[in-house]
Amino acid sequence: MNNQSPQSQDSHESTAIPKIAMRDVHKSFGAKVVLDGLDLDVARGESVVVIGGSGTGKSVMLKCVLGLLRPEQGSIKVDGEEVVGMRGKNRERVLDKFGMLFQGAALFDSLKVWENVAFGLIQGRGMSRDDAKGVALQKMAQVGLGEEVGELGPSELSGGMQKRVGLARAIATEPEIIFFDEPTTGLDPIMGDVINDLIVDCVKELGATTLSITHDLASARKIADRIAMIYKGKIIWAGPTDQVDQSGNAHVDQFIHGRAEGPIQMEVLRP
């Protein structure tokens, strides 16, 4: 197994402070260890995609960075500032830098679509409803949604449209960092590719740093500058996207080729 550390492989690593730096992050739920000394850097303006199977700790990693979960051990720095244990106004200030597209879009049922997109502008930035609606409609147009969709409720939209609304909401406040949690899961391949294109276009326009998690290789290849693989709570390989096929790492090879046989053994009872 090629267990080269992500840092040593990272051609993007420079003396500049990474936008996000995770070091030796540990997180457990009871006896179940989810993150077991995770190390990962995301450089400014870089798009990193973390791949890995279900239950390997991908979502927990994102939630630890956002402060939704608190790691028991380790350091997470955003722009060089330690965020583990950060609370109150400081936490809100750091969260202002983030946007996130959730796996199920996580749109607010009680609000119209445009109010969902404008939410961060109205509540977070204190913008007037009229101004925020203008920005929201503009962001919706950016992801291919017309004005008429803005007056609908989230439950009236298809899965693909909900993802696009979620993307519009994530970019509405023009954040410095955007997280994408399984952006193409549950979508047909064509809509998945549309979302991938939108992500690439939106991120390029904003110049944002992005950290995505997925087990969709096609999506990862399209949106990533760099791919990292997580396994048993650790980053076991990281490298430029075009090197993922020649990683020399048996775990990565098994994952990208979708083979049941290999070093990664699923906990499936066989008859």
Partner 1 sequence: MTAVGNNFLAAIGRIFLAFLGACGRLAVFTGTALSHCVTSPFYPRLLIRQMMSIGYYSLPVVGMTAVFTGMVLALQIYSGSSRFNAEGAVATIVVIGITRELGPVLTGLMVAGRVGAAMAAEIGTMRVTEQIDALTTLSTNPFKYLVAPRLIAGALMLPLLVLVADIIGVMGGYLVGTEKLGFNSATYLDNTFEFLEQIDVVSGLVKASAFGFIVSLMGCYHGYHSRGGAQGVGAATTNAVVSASILILAANYIITELFFDI
Of the pair 106, 200, the CB lying nearest partner 1 is at 106
Among 18, 52, 67, 233, binds partner 1 (CB under 8 A): 67
Q: Which is nearer to partner 1, 22 or 244 (CB)?
A: 22
Residue number with CB closer to partner 1 (90 or 246): 90
Q: Counting contacts by CB under 8 A, is residue 79 touching partner 1?
A: no
Q: Give 44 or 63: the residue with its C-beta nearer to partner 1.
A: 63
Cα-to-chain-centroid distance, residue 185: 13
Residue number, 39 or 181, with CB nearest to partner 1: 181
Among 2, 103, 241, 243, binds partner 1 (CB under 8 A): 103
Listing DSSP states for 111-146 in one string gives S-HHHHHHHIIIIIT---HHHHHHHHHHHHHHTT--
Residues 103 and 79 sit within 8 Å (Cβ to Cβ): no
The single residue among 24, 81, 82, 92 that binds partner 1, judged by CB under 8 A, is 92
CB of 46 to partner 1, least distance (A): 20
Find tokens 């503009």 and name the residue. 138
Residues touching partner 1: how many (CB under 8 A)?
A: 26
Select the residue interacting with partner 1 from 5, 14, 90, 123 (CB under 8 A): 123
Contact flag: residue 66 with partner 1 (CB under 8 A) = yes
**In the structure encoding, which two tokens stand for residue 139, read together?**
């962001």
Tell me if 102 contacts partner 1 by CB under 8 A: yes
Count CB neighbours of 258 within 10 A: 8
Cα-based distances in Å from 211 to 10, 30, 58, 102: 15, 27, 11, 12
Starting at the edge strand that comes first in sequence, how are the strands of the sheet with 81-82 ordered?
Answer: 32-42, 20-29, 73-78, 81-82
Question: What residues between 130 and 159 interact with partner 1 by CB under 8 A?
Answer: none
- Start-to-end CA distance of the chain, whole Å, equals 30
Selection from 76, 32, 74, 88 nearest residue 55 by Cα = 32
Indicate whether 57 belongs to the interface with partner 1 (CB under 8 A).
no
Helices 129-142 & 159-172 angle (0-180, nearest 10): 120
Q: Which is nearer to partner 1, 120 or 160 (CB)?
A: 120
107 binds partner 1 (CB under 8 A): yes
Under rule CB under 8 A, residue 96 binds partner 1: yes
CB of 262 to partner 1, least distance (A): 31
**What's the burial of 251, exposed, middle or buried (CB within 10 Å: 0-12/13-18/19+)?**
buried
Angle between helix axes 159-172 and 189-206 (nearest 10 degrees) is 10
Q: Determine the angle formed by the axes of helices 129-142 and 189-206, rounding to 10 degrees.
A: 120
Question: Would you count residue 81 as binding partner 1 (CB under 8 A)?
Answer: no
Answer yes or no whether residue 120 interacts with partner 1 by CB under 8 A: yes
Residues of this chain that interact with partner 1 (CB under 8 A) are 63, 66-68, 92, 95-96, 98-100, 102-104, 106-110, 119-120, 123-125, 169, 173, 179
